[in-house]
């Protein structure tokens, strides 16, 4: 029996794809609609939402429509020092996509 195993890794590890999909639907959007808007294949959007890929274009779009960074990059919040190089690279890549990244990956602490 041949089964496909999808492994989450990197900053997308632990991404809750059902929660993100629900949030996309709540905003009146669909995964295929996002794919059409970005001119990418729908499977790229699906695998990015589920954490098996980290396509910068898709991630930037999801951030722009209001998906919280903590949902997209759970490992950046759980183990920031372990993922520091990946976090820095993601910040640069998202800045190139014109996504405001000033406070991305930083927890806000109550005063």
Whole-prediction pTM: 0.78
* Domain map (residue ranges) of the chain: 11-96
Residue of 86, 33, 38 whose CA lies nearest to 60: 38
What is the rounded distance in angstroms from the CA atom of residue 111 to the CA atom of residue 85?
Answer: 29
- pLDDT digit string (tens) for the chain, length 111 residues: 434 444 455 777 788 999 999 999 999 999 999 999 999 999 999 999 998 888 989 999 999 999 988 888 888 888 788 878 888 888 888 888 888 766 666 654 444
């Amino acid at each position: 029996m041949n089964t496909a195993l999808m492994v989450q890794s990197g900053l997308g590890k632990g991404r809750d794809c059902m929660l993100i999909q629900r949030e996309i639907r709540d905003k009146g959007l669909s995964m295929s609609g996002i794919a059409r808007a970005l001119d990418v294949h729908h499977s790229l959007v699906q695998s990015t939402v589920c954490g098996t890929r980290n396509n910068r274009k898709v991630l930037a779009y999801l951030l722009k429509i209001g998906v919280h960074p903590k949902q997209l990059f759970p490992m950046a919040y759980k183990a920031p020092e372990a993922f520091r190089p990946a976090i820095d690279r993601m910040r640069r890549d998202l800045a190139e996509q014109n996504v405001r990244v000033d406070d991305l990956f930083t927890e806000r602490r109550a005063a």
